[in-house]
């Protein structure tokens, strides 16, 4: 079973690095330069042998010094070019892997993001691909040179003196037998270390992203302790890894030193007996020293390979996920068409029903308000309208077109969604306004949208105006300012359906009234769905849908529901009191 898993892992790793972005001629040139460079380095000890034997025999040839220096220079130049090309190939491979992973992440469905920490994506995009980069860009070139050097050196040593070479053949298998079991343990530890690193990355993102909450609740000490515990877990995994590396490295040195001592003793006896020249013994020792870097690189490469094996598995966990196919289906215009949700049922976990058999309709020129207590399922309805999730049962129609036959790209392009979180990206106000737009807009268009959202005044007061930086998540703007920017973005959209999820919750009464007027102008040609708690927003709606515990318990106008729906009347009374209190506080 384990051998099958290993075979699968190496097969996946091979598939991962088999990218078409790498030029085969470029790779061939790099390998050829490595071969030539290594061959040149293998010739150097032979010159040294002749040089020493000639010197000892008083048959010294001064030309050998010149040839030796020439070989050194050639070897340096060739190896430099080879290493650069191999590193370039490695960088291209890693670029291709990261690009493939990034493309995959962006097309994953929302449900996957619901169940995965953001730190996981950061860890796999940066840390796991970084391990592969180190292996491919740094250690893989060394191993290629090492293999060539090892094969060439052993071949020369066999021809030079087969008896001395036997010592190497005995020692190297012993080293492999010692290192291999330790490498398996290193793989298990490395996989755990990568998982803990991902968890800690997620923790950092969460704490830094909510640093105002941390400071407002004076939770610095709590987070310091939590961070220390997470760091201790990383330390413990790193310590276990260090212990294994501490065994591998000294064992490698021990075996190598044993080889050298054995060669020196046995070679010295033979030199004394006259069956071996000093030049041959010194050349042999030089070749043995030339074997040290390849052997060391093999051990390091083997250790890194175990880490990469775990990283590959984690990367493929994402790559093997099903992606959203945005283009599958028909392209349909929503212009002048009704949207109708029929018998929608939905559950996040296939057990607890969140939306239970609801139906509703929206027409162009209408504003439909979803009202109800928190947790009733209103935002989930919007997520179903956006097709972030697929309903467990039921369907949504536009005109006579089922959503199942309309492509996601066509469907979502007809919606403009203003979330209650007022999401802004790092960048300028201009960049946030035009984000996601598929059509060209002028500065005049931007200012008109800002005016409709009652945001033109504060933007005009900023020194950089449209080019003012908003900071990460819009931290440089107030809650109301961020909300007005997101509403202005919706006004710029050519979408036929507007979804407003508590879109005016952070606005003061005067600003909300102004925005309401803009929405009334906008709804002449569009269908607007709103989730609202404020009475002014609710009253302006053509239809109100009351949602409670995932079910629609009433539909109608404000006046109709006040008379016929006891729960709605109670809800409105509560909101009316809350609004009065908020106005007095303001």
User: Tens digits of per-residue pLDDT, 430-471?
Assistant: 888 888 777 888 888 889 888 888 788 888 888 888 888 877
Query: Would you say residue 584 has pLDDT above 50?
Result: no
Structure confidence at residue 577 as a pLDDT band (50, 70, 90): very low
Cα 350 to Cα 75: distance, rounded to the nearest angstrom: 66
Q: What is the predicted pLDDT for the residue at 472?
A: 73
Query: Would you say residue 1 has pLDDT above 50?
Result: no
The residue assigned the tokens 């007996």 is 273
Q: What is the predicted pLDDT for the residue at 46?
A: 65
Q: What pairs with residue 415 in β-bridges?
A: 497
Q: Could you say which of 120, 196, 241, 502 is catalytic?
A: 502
Confirm if 486 and 509 have CB atoms less than 8 A apart.
no
Q: What is the predicted pLDDT for the residue at 20?
A: 57
Confirm if 107 and 142 have CB atoms less than 8 A apart.
no
Strand (E) or helix (H) holding 545: strand 543-548
Range in 10-24, 221-235, 445-459 with the lowest mean pLDDT: 10-24
Residue 196 annotated in active site: no
Query: Would you say residue 97 has pLDDT above 60?
Result: yes
Confirm if 529 and 363 have CB atoms less than 8 A apart.
no
User: Tens digits of per-residue pLDDT, 472-481?
Assistant: 777 777 777 8
Q: What pairs with residue 398 in β-bridges?
A: 339, 401
- For the whole prediction, is pTM greater than 0.75? no
| Residue 35 CA from chain centroid, whole number | 37
CA dihedral 486, 487, 490, 491 (to 10 degrees): -140
Burial of 396 by CB count in 10 Å (0-12 exposed, 13-18 middle, 19+ buried)?
buried
301 or 19: which leads in pLDDT = 301
Taking the CB of residue 332, how many other CB atoms lie within 10 A of it? 18
What is the token pair recorded at 65? Answer: 């010094």
Query: Would you say residue 16 has pLDDT above 80?
Result: no
Burial of 47 by CB count in 10 Å (0-12 exposed, 13-18 middle, 19+ buried)?
middle
Q: Around 347, how many Cα atoms within 13 Å sit in the side-chain half-sphere?
A: 7
Q: What domains are there in the chain, each with its CATH number?
A: 2-202+243-319 (1.20.1560.10)
**258-279: average pLDDT:** 77
Cα 546 to Cα 543: distance, rounded to the nearest angstrom: 10
Measured CA to CA in angstroms, residue 187 lies from 59, 136, 180, 255, 307 at distances of 56, 18, 11, 23, 6
Range in 180-184, 494-498, 526-530 with the lowest mean pLDDT: 180-184
User: Tens digits of per-residue pLDDT, 119-171?
Assistant: 777 778 777 887 777 777 777 777 777 787 778 778 877 887 777 777 777 76
Cα 300 to Cα 302: distance, rounded to the nearest angstrom: 5
User: Tens digits of per-residue pLDDT, 370-424?
Assistant: 988 888 888 888 888 888 888 888 899 988 888 888 888 888 888 888 876 667 7
Q: What pairs with residue 347 in β-bridges?
A: 353
Mean pLDDT, all residues of the chain: 76
Burial of 544 by CB count in 10 Å (0-12 exposed, 13-18 middle, 19+ buried)?
buried
Cα 135 to Cα 206: distance, rounded to the nearest angstrom: 31
User: If DSSP codes are grouped into helix, strand and coil, which group holds residue 377?
Assistant: coil
Which residue from 84, 9, 86, 71 is spatially nearest to 38, judged by alpha carbons? 71
């Amino acid at each position: 079973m384990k051998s099958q898993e290993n075979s699968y892992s190496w097969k996946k790793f091979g598939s991962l690095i088999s990218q078409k972005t790498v030029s085969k001629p470029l790779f061939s040139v790099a390998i050829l330069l490595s071969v030539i460079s290594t061959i040149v380095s293998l010739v150097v000890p032979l010159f040294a042998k002749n040089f020493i034997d000639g010197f000892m025999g008083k048959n010294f040839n001064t030309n050998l010094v010149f040839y030796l220096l020439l070989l050194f220079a050639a070897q340096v130049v060739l190896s430099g070019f080879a290493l650069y090309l191999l590193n370039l190939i490695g960088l291209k491979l890693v670029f291709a892997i990261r690009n493939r992973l990034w493309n995959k992440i962006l097309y994953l469905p929302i449900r996957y993001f619901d169940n995965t920490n953001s730190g996981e994506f950061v860890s796999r995009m940066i840390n796991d691909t970084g391990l592969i980069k180190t292996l491919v860009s740094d250690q893989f070139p060394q191993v290629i040179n090492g293999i060539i050097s090892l094969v060439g050196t052993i071949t020369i040593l066999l021809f030079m003196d087969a008896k001395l070479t036997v010592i190497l053949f005995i020692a190297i298998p012993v080293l492999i037998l010692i290192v291999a079991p330790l490498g398996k343990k290193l793989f298990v530890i490395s996989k755990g270390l990568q998982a803990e690193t991902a968890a800690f990355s997620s923790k950092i993102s969460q704490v830094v992203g909510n640093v105002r909450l941390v400071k407002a609740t004076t939770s610095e000490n709590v987070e310091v302790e939590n961070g220390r515990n997470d760091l201790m877990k990383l330390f413990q995994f790193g310590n276990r890894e260090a212990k294994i590396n501490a065994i591998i490295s000294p064992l490698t040195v021990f075996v190598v030193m044993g080889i050298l001592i054995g060669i020196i003793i046995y070679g010295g006896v033979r030199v004394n007996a006259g069956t071996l020249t000093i030049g041959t013994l010194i050349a042999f020792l030089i070749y043995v020293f030339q074997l040290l870097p390849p052997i060391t690189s093999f051990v390091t490469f083997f250790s890194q390979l175990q880490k990469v094996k775990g990283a590959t598995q984690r990367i493929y966990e994402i790559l093997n996920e099903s992606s959203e196919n945005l283009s599958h289906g028909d392209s349909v215009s929503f212009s002048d068409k009704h949207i109708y949700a029929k018998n929608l049922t939905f559950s996040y976990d296939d057990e607890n029903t969140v939306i239970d058999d609801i139906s509703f309709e929206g027409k162009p020129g209408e504003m439909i308000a979803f009202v109800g207590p928190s947790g009733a399922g209103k935002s989930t309805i919007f997520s179903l309208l956006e097709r972030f999730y697929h309903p467990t049962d039921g369907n949504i129609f536009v005109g006579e077109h089922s959503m199942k036959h309309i492509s996601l790209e066509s469907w979502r392009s007809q919606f403009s969604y203003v979330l209650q979180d007022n999401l802004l990206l790092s960048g300028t106000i201009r960049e946030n306004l035009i984000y996601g737009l598929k059509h060209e807009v002028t500065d005049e268009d931007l200012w008109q949208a800002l005016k409709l959202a009652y945001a033109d005044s504060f933007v005009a007061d900023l020194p950089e105006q449209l080019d003012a930086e908003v900071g990460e998540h819009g931290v440089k703007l107030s809650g109301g300012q961020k909300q007005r920017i997101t509403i202005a973005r919706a006004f710029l959209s050519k979408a036929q359906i507007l979804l407003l999820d508590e879109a005016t919750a952070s606005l003061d009464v005067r600003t909300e009234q102004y925005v309401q007027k803009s929405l009334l102008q906008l709804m002449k040609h569009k269908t607007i769905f709103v989730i609202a708690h404020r009475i002014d927003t609710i009253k302006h709606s053509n239809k109100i849908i009351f949602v409670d515990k995932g079910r629609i318990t009433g539909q109608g106008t404000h006046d109709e529901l006040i008379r016929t729906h006891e729960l709605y009347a109670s809800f409105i009374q509560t909101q009316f009191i809350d609004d009065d209190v908020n106005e007095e506080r303001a």
